[in-house]
Every structure is written in structure tokens, then in C-alpha cells.
Structure 1
């Protein structure tokens, strides 16, 4: 069993090397095992994870379907701990459970071999009249703070989900080792401007919480969980615009990948020899040769990956043709070279984002369309549109 000191030293060592801290909320041994192999730094054992494995929503963890602490203790000790060899496992503790006494229960968590705790399920995700009723009867967030304080005194590692600045202050004073800005239940399927606006709101909320951390304990590990942040690109946006050093995911590592991969592989086996004309991966595997246009493949790839680095050489390799031949085909059909097309596509996307949100920082727009260097983005934007990004925004404001 790793000690709190071991875990802290390892995390800070990772940060000094320029790495990020990644936590995976797991509901089954198979997820935990391969998350560790993939490089996860720690695991959270949460009741929501087990409900996801049942094919249910994470929100089921907030209803009286089972005893949360008993569930976590059972599958955590039997499924998760035995398959994890080198990283810590933290217990998702329902601190408002009226059937336990926090001090002895947290001691039992330590004796079983869990290296730390996390406050989940948390009343921080409940609002309205139900939240008021819970607070009035004593089932408040203050009990979660108390649990973190007790665990810290017992030298367990502590991961605190917080939802506002005051909760961050309380958890910092209780000794939390990680302050995780919880952004709400993980969203899915948001695209375009709506997604950008959601990420902007998440950025503001997280940074406000991190500002409190900087004022009280600057060295505390700052992470985020949930909300609109569910892909590596989303997380990169948050890294670029906040003081974030790590990410915790549940649905992002279990539900969403499982939904996509199991659905797609089942459909693929069912339809072997009869792939959909729109199945991009099938065309990539086939070498784009049977019934798919090379240029359309490239254009579709750009549409799906313009936020990321795109290598034309790699696209040619996937298509099993030479770079020069693909380049000639592309220029003949589209009327311009691939680099020019890519810049134009990204600039059009940038204009869409600026029109959708006239308050968004331009460096953020640059990141969202694949430019880490703002100066280069600004240069390309002016070359393509004839005006700088700020001039474009100013003129658009006057027109609307």
C-alpha cells in the first residue's frame, strides 16, 4: 500500500517533468486494469462507475437504489484493488450516509488498503428544494469537508470535489491534497458554437476556484472533472487557458469510449463486406481504394480533425498513394493546394466562433482551430480575410 507521502511525491515529480496528472473513475476491474496500463496516475472507485457498468446513468448513484458505501467497498476491494499494482486507488465515500460514523469508517477504508478517499456521491451536485431539505436535516456538504479532514489526519490522500470558491476554501483548510473543480455531469454530443460557449463557462468557473487555491495553498494539485470537458482536445483547451495540471474522468474513460467502440465493432461484424459509404475508419482501413474518392476522404478528415495537427504525408500513407499524386489530385479538384485549403477551413471556423461569441479571447479561438502560436494564427487570419482577428470582431459587432 502506498503512503500519502509516496503519492504526493510521485505526483509532484510528474508535474516537475512537465506531465499532467490523470485520474480515472472506474466501475470495473477491466477498466481499472487497462487505465493503469494506459498511464493513469490514480483510480477513483465511485458508485457511479458501477452503475455505468450496469448500463445505467451515473445519476443513479444519487438515488436510493443501493447502499453507496457498501457497493464501493464490495467491488472496490474485490474487483479493483486486486488488479492494480502500481498506482493508488481512492475510495468514493458517501460522507452523508447516516448509518456510519465517519472516523471508524474511514479507518476501515485505510485498513482494507485504499490509499485515499474522494467525496462522492456529493450533495454539491444537488440543488433546489431537495438541496435545501438535505441541508436543513444535517446532510450537508460540511460532512464531506469533515470526511476529508478526518482522512487527512489519518494520513490518507484526499481528492476533494468542489463546486464554488467557498467550498474550495473549506476543503483546502481541511487538508485536501487535490482540489478538483467539478463542472457537473459529463455532457455528450455538443458541437460547434454551443460547445465553445460551454467550454468558456467551464474555464471561468475552474479558474475562479484555482484563484482561491493560489491564495491559500498554491502548491495544491488543481484538477477538473465532468461537464463539457470530455475529450483530449477539450482538456487541452483547459490546460491552455487555466492553471489546471490534471484531469479526472469517469464517463470519458468508460461510458463514451464503450458506447462508440462496442456499437461500431458490433455493427462492423454484422455488416462485414457491406460497410457504410460514410464510415471514415472503414475507408482508412481499406486504403480508400474501392469506392471512395481520395479528395473527399481528405476533406472529410479535415472537417473532423481541424483542431489537431494534420499531416498530409500521413493521409497519403493511409490512402496508399504517393504524397505528390494525392497533392496533384487535390489541387486539380479543389483548385488550391492542401495547405491553403486547410488554412481557409480553419479561418472559416475561427470566424464562426468569433461571430458566435464576441467576448471570447482570440488566443482561445486560435487554440480551437489548431493554432498553438497566436502570432501565426493572426498572420494567417489577416492574410485570408484582409483584417486582423480583432478588427474582424469589431466590424462584426457594428454590423449586428
Structure 2
């Protein structure tokens, strides 16, 4: 059964990983099976996204249902099988049915979560949409407020960012971990078109430098785009200052697709007994 980690316990865990010269790895786990296997594989974080539910349903990553309720209900399944890894949950800061963010965070805190990340996140829709929603009080500012509140409540905070302005804001809000997001992850049966490695490396380095200029001690990881498997993720460590990687589709979708396809093909290739 799961346990709750303090911010200092998570920071110590992260420092030990880096000092051992290994990357910090967070994985999306939208089922108990993926969570249990991820912990056995050595994940530093289990990150629970409502959007991840669509991946294990065989769909591409997409919004699904009432995000906070979906996340809350999924947490129990992970809590039952993840024993010694921090569980970070995605919280929708713009959920009109849970507008009281303090109350919402207390609800998640009460069931043992160790931290939060803003998800679904408005930044993925691009700058113009962010401006429109933020102008009416339903935007990125709410995600910043969520992070500030969670940090003040003693929760570990992670944040996806797409621009320098967002990176500055989330780092100042107290996020312990900044994750430059370079778009949907390629690969697999529902691959998403993405930027080149060269373009993504420039974005990652720019946002990491921005975060470090605000807080030199902030943990910086990377996510998305062409970085879809261990081989391609090597380019993150070769060409950027990221200290690790967050895997979503690259952990709970494409490896499952490949494993199941391989198993079925292997079973199919066994000949029937000669009559």
C-alpha cells in the first residue's frame, strides 16, 4: 500500500538519484499494473494524469470526463499496489465544479498524494488560447495559484511550461520541478507529429536556463516530442541540461502496444499440430 512523502523526502530521493549519475524518471501510470511495474523498474515518481486514462483505453492522449474526479478515482487503484514511490497527481485548476482550489487540494491530500502537477494544462493549446482563457479568469493564472497553494500546503509541485514567461511564473510560484514540454510524444500506433530534435533541444535549454535564473536549485526534466524511447531520450542528456525525463505515452502506451503485438504475433506463429 502507498505512503505519503514529504517534500524533503522527495528532494533527498532526487538528489540521491542524480548523485548516482542516473536520470530522474517520472512515469505516467493510469492503471495499477503500470504503476506496480513502474515502481519495480525504479521510477522516481508515479505521475497520475486523467488524460492517461485515454491512453490505456487505446485512444490517443485526450481529455476524458471530469478530470479531477477521474484522477481521484484512479488514485485508489495505484495506492493499493505502489508501496514506496511518491504519487504525484494531475489537478485541473480550471474545473468549474471544484473552483475552491484549497478544498480540492485538501481532498487529494486526505487520500495520501505526495504532490501535484497542473493537468489538464491550458498551455498545451498555445499562446492565443491561453490569453483568451486567462483574460476571463479561467487560464494559466489559476494553474499558478494551484501551485502556490499546494506548495504552501507542503505538497511537492511539478509544472509543465512552454514559454519563458510561464517558466518564470511557475518557478516563482514555488514549483520544485520544471518540465519543458515540447509537444505530444511520437511513436506507437497513435503517434503525434512533432518538432525536430534540434528544435526541441533549443526549447528545452532555453526554458531550463530561464528556470535556473529564478531558482538555481530547481529540478528540470523534459517531456514529449521526438523523445519517445530510451534511445531517443539519450539526446536530451547529450544536448541539454535536463536531469531526467517524464514519460507518459512512452511508458504506458507504446511499450504495451509493442509487447502485446509481439506476444500475439508469437502465439500466431506457432503452427498447429500436424493432423
Q: Same fold (TM over 0.5)?
A: yes
Which residue of structure 1 lines up, in the alignment, with residue 84 of structure 2? 86
Deviation at 1:107, TM superposition (A): 1.5
Deviation digits for residues 15-71 of structure 1 (CA, Å, limit 9, x no counterpart): 122121000011100000000000101111101211111111112x1xxx5100000
Question: Which has the larger share of helix?
Answer: 1
CA contact (8 A) 2:88 2:115 kept: yes
- The number of aligned residues is 264
Structure 1 outlier segments of 4+, above 6 Å = none
Specify the structure having the higher radius of gyration (Cα).
1
Q: Match of 1:268?
A: 266
- Cα deviation per residue 1:130-185 (whole Å; 9 max; x = unaligned)? 54542333211111111111000001000101111111100110100000011111
Q: How does 1:219-234 map to 2 (within 5 A)?
A: 219-234=217-232
Q: Is 1:208 equivalent to 2:206 in the alignment?
A: yes
Distance (whole Å) between structure 1 residues aligned to residue 69 and residue 237 of structure 2 = 36
Local SS of the residue matching 1:83: coil
Match of residue 35, structure 1, among 30, 34, 38: 38
Residues in 1 aligned to 2:141 and 2:129: alpha-carbon distance in whole angstroms: 16
Q: How does 1:294-309 map to 2 (within 5 A)?
A: none
- The SS at the match of 1:180 is strand
Q: Who is 1:74 aligned against?
A: 73
Could you say which structure has the greater relative contact order, defined with CA pairs below 8 angstroms and 6 or more residues apart? 2
Mapped to 2, the partners of 1:231 and 1:148 lie a distance apart of 29
Q: Which residue of 2 aligns with 1:11?
A: 14
- Counterparts of 1:20-169 in structure 2, within 5 Å, are 20-59=23-62, 61=63, 65-76=64-75, 78-100=76-98, 101-127=100-126, 130-169=129-168
Matches within 5 A, 1:181-196: 181-188=180-187
| TM-score relative to the length of structure 2 | 0.91
Q: Report the CA distance between 1:122 and its aligned residue.
A: 0.3
- Contiguous gaps of at least 5 residues in structure 2: none
Looking at structure 2, the residues matched to 260 and 58 of structure 1 have their Cα atoms a distance apart, in angstroms, of: 17
- Structure 2 CA distance for aligned equivalents of residues 150 and 5 of structure 1: 17
Aligned with 1:245 (options 240, 243, 246): 243
Counterpart secondary structure, 1:224: coil
Q: Which whole-Å CA distance do the structure 1 matches of 2:204 and 2:121 have between them?
A: 18
Q: CA deviation at 1:251?
A: 0.5
Secondary structure of the residue that 1:69 maps to in structure 2?
A: helix
